[in-house]
Amino acid sequence: MKSYIYPILLLACGIFAARCTKSTDAAPVDPDNQNYTSYWYYCYEAVSVINHEAVGLTAADEFKPRTVADRGDTLFVANAGTGGYSLILYSKKNKRALSTIKTWTFNNAEKNFGSQIEAIVPTNDRLYVAERNSRVHVFLLPDMQYYSCVGNGDYNGPVFQAQAIAVTNGMLFTRSKDGKIRFFKESDIKPENYQTLKYLRQAGPGAGNSSNNDFATHYMEVDKEGHIMLTGYEAKSIRVLDPSLIDDNFKSGTNIDINDLTWSLPFKPKTFATDSVRMFATGDNDNLNVYDYEKKEWVKKFKGLKGYTLSKPERIYKGADGLFWVSDVTKNAVIQMGVFRGEIREYARINDRLFEVKSAMTRHGQEQETFVVDIATHEIVDPSELE
């Protein structure tokens, strides 16, 4: 597996951040003139939980969150609840729903989301919302005025059940259900081209490609190198695409995958989010899976957060503030997850890698709690794994 380093804020443990080290070899520090060695561990915490009540709905089954995205204070939440498909705009600061979009008027006719929303991508001035039935809706930001639609709902139309989308280099990229990549110029997406715009070109499938017939969740994200990372669910892969290969002479069917950068995974990936040293991914194992770039391996899978136990984490998204959003599709909730580093204060060494921790400094203060940490990965170890 090839590895990259992706930028994101990793939240530290408050004023004690200076005591956290970045390697297995602990750094000596001298608080209050008492020499001791500092060790630390990752702590995954549910900072807040959005359920049906938080968005102003009466019944739990009215809120079935799927994909999310954010821009500024607004969190966009795709809802597939019993009240119909909708897009909820939620204020992260005030912790309340700002508005809900279910219908709109275009060309003097009422329109709506005809199927589940699969992807949401905000840009500086637009919000792209892809729904399963072969449409990508375009809203203008910040006022959410409806602007146009790419695709007409026909499987043989310009958008073939786009399950993931990305916007870069002035183009909209859509991942079709057959795994092929279609792209459109943003400048061509206009009200007068509503549902009639044809795709500019189509890239052929490359290494790690997989088509699927069960509408498995997929995800596309642009990395710092300008590449597009795309999950291949059935192939247990993450493809890496190079959009810079597309020019006026590009021929449909040409492969834009960087084949030797294709990731091979031990599970079928759905979505992923990255920080500076790690990737977090959801998949068919119904866990949050953690990949360490330095170690070049998946070091942990888990469901338990401090303050919340996930049931079926379907999607994960990295917010602009460095926190993560996880959609739990069994409990019908969106969890805001923080990744913090806690300092180990009191411990008993089990072996060269494992410490039994008895006291730790967290962002809430010093806490007395017994658990086991693998100091090679800085992860809390499940007791069942020690047997």
pLDDT tens over the chain, length 387 residues: 443 333 333 443 332 333 333 333 333 333 444 554 679 999 999 999 999 999 999 999 999 999 999 999 999 999 999 999 999 999 999 999 999 999 999 999 999 999 999 999 999 999 999 999 999 999 999 999 999 999 999 988 999 998 899 999 999 999 998 889 999 999 999 999 999 999 999 998 888 887 877 788 999 999 999 999 999 999 999 999 999 999 999 999 999 999 999 999 999 999 999 988 999 999 999 999 999 999 999 999 999 999 999 999 999 999 999 999 999 999 999 999 999 999 999 999 999 999 999 999 998 899 998 999 999 999 999 877 766
Task: Give all domains of the chain, ordered by start, each with its CATH number.
Answer: 14-346 (2.130.10.10)
Q: In terms of C-beta density within 10 A (0-12 exposed, 13-18 middle, 19 or more buried), how is residue 384 classed?
A: exposed
Distance between CA 64 and CA 86 in Å, rounded?
A: 10
Q: Are 13 and 361 in contact (CB under 8 A)?
A: yes
Q: Which of 144, 159, 33, 30 is nearest to 98 (CA)?
A: 144
Sign of the dihedral through C-alpha 270, 223, 379, 359: negative
Kindly state the DSSP code that residue 186 receives in the 8-state scheme.
G
Determine the residue type at 345. Answer: R
Read off the pTM: 0.88
15-34 burial, b at 16+ Cβ within 10 Å, e below that, comes to ebeebbbeeeeeeeeeeeee
pLDDT tens track for 51-85: 999 999 999 999 999 999 999 999 999 999 999 99
Distance between CA 233 and CA 236 in Å, rounded?
A: 5
Residue 42 neighbours by CB distance under 10 Å: 18
DSSP 3-state of 146: strand
Question: What are 325's strand-pairing partners?
Answer: 317, 336
| Extended beta strands in 80-125, E state | 86-91, 96-101, 103-106, 109-112, 117-122
Determine the residue type at 72. Answer: G
245-264 burial, b at 16+ Cβ within 10 Å, e below that, comes to ebeeeeeeeebbbbeebbbe
Distance between CA 177 and CA 175 in Å, rounded?
A: 7
Q: Are 272 and 219 in contact (CB under 8 A)?
A: yes
Distance between CA 34 and CA 22 in Å, rounded?
A: 22
Q: Are 129 and 87 in contact (CB under 8 A)?
A: yes
Distance between CA 331 and CA 325 in Å, rounded?
A: 14
Distance between CA 216 and CA 314 in Å, rounded?
A: 10
Residue 5 neighbours by CB distance under 10 Å: 13
Q: Locate tokens 């170890």: which residue?
A: 381
